Homo-oligomer: A and B are copies of this chain.
Amino acid sequence: MAMQLIECVPNFSEGRRQDVIDEIVNCFKGKRGVYLLDHRADEDHNRLVISLVGVPAPIQDALLEAAKVALKHIDMNAHQGGHPRIGAVDVVPFTPIKGISMEECIALAHNFGERYYKETGIPVYFYEDAAKRPERKRLEVIRKGQYEVLKDEAKTNPDRKPDIGEACLHPTAGATVIGARKFLVAFNVNLNTTDINIAKKIANTVRASSGGFCHVKGIGLALEERGITQVSMNLVDYEKNSLYRVLEMIRMEAKRWGVQVIETEVYGMIPVNAILESAAYYLQIADFDPAQVLELQLLDLMGEKAE
């Protein structure tokens, strides 16, 4: 059987004390099946964002180890920072990458949440696809008022009680939001016009909030230094709303205003399938199998050897 791979981007409420940052990051190093892609500590946000890919079981073990470090060192009553947060370990999203379905990632989030509460005593809210209440799909609903407000409301308002744990937050570590979500692709399309209204109108036609594609978020922006405008998007489900389909729609709408796409930008990481699907469309490749890609077959073989 091919290796199962997930992505996980845990966020910790510590972006200033280097020793604490190092101790947390070290939990993800030198572990079989855990691959640390990136970590960024932001002093203003006072927040640490870690990007991991790997096999579900060892990723979860490492997360628990890191959570215990955070629990030891971070007191939410003393924490200040520019980014909304409710806990020392603020958010833990699991994303399916390979050989694992969204349903399995949701089950994984739920099981991990139980174990997490048992081993750390930190209560858990579930969000996105793992939400147990529909309104909790949205992180901002769970985090409303942040730690300072939630620590009281969790006790008094049943709508704000954690999904796992008693009706109160942990006295120092607050609570943790655990969930499952698809991989988010940041995709920007630049237009050869300075007229920001055109970029905004086009953003309107493609984004879900104004009736476009169901899994696209987007805004129109001016890139003033370059004298151009941009449709800046997040594709929150690249399988349902693929890059080529979104781009062709923008090209079509741009024509109406006598405007052209001058370039696009994929910002940050992208799963290979998001690119392969668009390549297969434009190249009209019938029955293309990602296993035909040499590097992907090699990844499977390496995964088998590493087990």
User: Which A residues are within 8 Å of any B CB, using their own CB?
Assistant: 5, 7, 32, 35-37, 53, 97-98, 183, 243-244, 247, 261-266, 268-272, 275-276, 278-279, 282-288, 292-299, 301-303, 305-306
Bound-state CA distance A285–B276 (Å) is 14
Partner of A264 from the list B7, B285, B298, B303 (CB cut-off 8 Å) is B285
A276 nearest in chain B by CB position: B275
Residues of B with C-beta under 8 A to A282: 244, 278-279, 282-283
Check if A278 sits within 8 Å of B272, measured CB to CB. no
Bound-state CA distance A297–B303 (Å) is 14
A299 nearest in chain B by CB position: B299
Bound-state CA distance A230–B307 (Å) is 43
Q: A266-B285, A294-B270 are known contacts. Are A301 and B244 too (CB-CB below 8 A)?
A: no
- 4 new A-B contacts at CB < 8 Å, known A36-B301, A272-B293, A278-B282: A264-B285, A276-B279, A282-B282, A302-B303
Copies of the chain in the assembly: 2
A95 nearest in chain B by CB position: B294
Check if A268 sits within 8 Å of B292, measured CB to CB. yes
Q: A5-B298, A299-B302, A306-B306 are known contacts. Are A286 and B270 too (CB-CB below 8 A)?
A: no
Closest CB-CB distance, A280 to chain B, in whole Å? Answer: 9
Q: A270-B294, A275-B276, A295-B296 are known contacts. Are A285 and B302 too (CB-CB below 8 A)?
A: no
Check if B298 sits within 8 Å of A299, measured CB to CB. yes
Bound-state CA distance A293–B282 (Å) is 19
Residues of B with C-beta under 8 A to A183: 294
Partner of A283 from the list B243, B284, B286 (CB cut-off 8 Å) is B243
A251 nearest in chain B by CB position: B284
Closest CB-CB distance, A100 to chain B, in whole Å? Answer: 14
Q: A265-B286, A282-B244 are known contacts. Are A272 and B296 too (CB-CB below 8 A)?
A: yes
Check if A35 sits within 8 Å of B301, measured CB to CB. yes
Check if B243 sits within 8 Å of A269, measured CB to CB. no
Check if A306 sits within 8 Å of B295, measured CB to CB. no
Bound-state CA distance A301–B278 (Å) is 26
Closest CB-CB distance, A131 to chain B, in whole Å? Answer: 25
Check if A283 sits within 8 Å of B247, measured CB to CB. yes
CB-based closest 4 A-B pairs: A282-B282, A263-B286, A279-B279, A35-B301
Residues of B with C-beta under 8 A to A266: 285, 288, 292
Closest CB-CB distance, A229 to chain B, in whole Å? Answer: 15
17 contacts between A and B (CB under 8 A): A36-B301, A37-B297, A244-B283, A247-B283, A247-B284, A263-B285, A263-B286, A264-B284, A266-B285, A269-B297, A270-B293, A272-B296, A278-B283, A279-B279, A279-B282, A302-B302, A302-B303
